Copies of this chain bind each other. A is one copy, B any other.
Amino acid sequence: MPRTLPEPSVDSFDLTVILSALADPGRRALMTALFRSSEPVDCAVIVEEADLGLSNPTISHHYRILREAGLIRSVADGRKRIVRVRREDMETRFPGLLQAVLGGH
């Protein structure tokens, strides 16, 4: 049942797109929350943790940006979305980047 939403292959990762995605504070808050748990998580839980004051359309938009940048994988399971950080893929292409951006505090 669950289908993985469209995402870029590791080879087509684009540093400009990735850094633009990470440059937004809201998206970085989502990523930081996601980065803490290495397990796939219900995206709504992450939204609660991050506690941004943003509307649903905006949150959805941010998740899309993160996904299309290759930072996260998003799996549609029923009405829910299960998300996780693409750690290994990121590590392959840009080693140390996620740690440097999200690791500190």
Which residues of A pack against B, CB within 8 Å?
15-16, 19-20, 22-25, 28, 93-97, 99-101, 104
Q: Are B99 and A104 in contact (CB under 8 A)?
A: no
Q: Is the interface of A mostly helix, strand, loop or mixed?
A: helix
Counting every copy of the chain, the complex holds 2
A95 to B97, CA, bound (A): 10
Among the listed B20, B28, B96, which residue makes an inter-chain contact with A100, where contact means beta carbons less than 8 Å apart? Answer: B96
Q: Are A16 and B25 in contact (CB under 8 A)?
A: yes
Q: Are A15 and B101 in contact (CB under 8 A)?
A: yes
A28 to B20, CA, bound (A): 12
Q: Which residues of B contact A15 (CB under 8 A)?
A: 28, 101
A95 to B28, CA, bound (A): 17
